[in-house]
Amino acid sequence: MKSRWKHHLQLFAVCWIWGLAFVGVKVLLDEVSYITLNLLRFLLAGMVFLPFLLPRWRVRPRLSVGEWTLVFLAGVSAVYGYHLALTYGETTIPAGTAGLIANTTPIFAALFARFILGESLGPLKVSGTAAAMGGVAVITLMGGDASLGAGRVQGILLVLVAAAAWAVYTVLLKPLVDEHDPLFITAYAIFLGTLALLPLALACGDCAGEVASLSGKGWGWLVFLSLGCTVIGYLLYSEGLEGLGASQAAFYIYLIAPISLFWGWIWLGERVNAGLFIGTALILAGLVAVGMEERKATVGSDGEVAENRENRPSG
């Protein structure tokens, strides 16, 4: 019983950590560009991952050329597709709004599974997708402080691209995390995605100058995003998921969207209005509907935990 409570507390803590990530991104964008932010975040995360990987280096997964290709594409999808799009989107929309929309990833995963892998799209997935996209539309038209304009629409579209990119990351890594140690696979993807980001960072802007002028508060948020969200968050989530299973863990994942809205309100003073409440309710209803159909399809399956290990939102 104590062990189960420990796993519940781990997943509950992860919700608050990952929900706060969107606030951290918003604060850092006042000091550095979205490119520099991501480069620093993943360089630090890579260094923090090393102490966890080195003691197990002898038993690291030996990947084929095809598997390394999948890892590289997943890393690019995560760093470029998810994180760059998300942080650029947050330059024009509130952190809480970004957190809500970024958590529509399971909707895109269900759509990709239907149109790319040929999996069935049952009534719950169809209604859930419609509800979640309706929630995004309500937030676009009615939510937040700013009136509807090109910048707001662009920001929301970029965060939707980020959610779709994380779904691609999930699909690409699924066969690998089913067969290999997920910690190594995740670390490989981060390392390769960061390497792919280096040319863009060198070609655009003044990364060195931005790093030199970064405040103590900025470094604190960077450490939180790198250590707290990318490393500690992953480790807590993995242990909680292994202990409770995907069905119970999914409940906590649904909490990230409203928690990110709460953090934006309490930390940044972002306005919460009726449009955001309605949009949040629709998105959560859609996620629950899609999750219910996914769980029906995987009840009794040995791959339940592995399938859901990477299909989670991340700030």
**Cβ-Cβ contacts under 8 Å for 276 (sequence gap 6 or more):** 96, 97, 100, 139, 142, 143, 144, 261
Q: Output the CA torsion sign for 295, 300, 303, 304.
A: positive
Q: How confident is the model at residue 248 (pLDDT cuts 50, 70, 90)?
A: low
pLDDT, mean of residues 101-111:
84
**Residue 116 in 3-state DSSP?**
coil
The top-scoring range by mean pLDDT among 131-145, 259-273, 274-288 is: 259-273
Which bin fits 180, alpha (ψ -120 to 50), beta or left (φ > 0)?
A: beta
Query: Residue 144 pLDDT more than 90?
Result: no
Neighbours of 61 (CB within 10 A): 15
The top-scoring range by mean pLDDT among 27-36, 178-187, 273-282 is: 27-36
Query: Residue 233 pLDDT more than 80?
Result: yes
Which H helix or E strand runs over 131?
helix 123-142
pLDDT of residue 308: 47
DSSP code at position 310: S
Tokens found for residue 43: 């360089």
DSSP code at position 29: T
pLDDT of residue 106: 82
Query: pLDDT tens digits for 44-80?
Result: 988 888 888 888 888 888 899 999 999 999 999 999 9
Query: pLDDT tens digits for 155-174?
Result: 999 999 999 998 888 888 87
Tokens found for residue 314: 């991340």
pTM given for the model? 0.84
pLDDT of residue 256: 87
For residues 119 and 113, the answer to whether their CB atoms sit within 8 Å is yes
Query: What is the pLDDT of the chain when averaged over all its residues?
Result: 83
pLDDT, mean of residues 195-220:
88
pLDDT of residue 312: 56
Q: How confident is the model at residue 214 (pLDDT cuts 50, 70, 90)?
A: very high
For residues 13 and 255, the answer to whether their CB atoms sit within 8 Å is no
Q: Helices in 143-204 by DSSP H: which ranges?
A: 150-179, 182-203
Query: pLDDT tens digits for 278-312?
Result: 888 888 888 888 877 776 665 544 444 444 444 55
**Residue 101 in 3-state DSSP?**
helix
pLDDT of residue 170: 81
Query: Residue 1 pLDDT more than 80?
Result: no
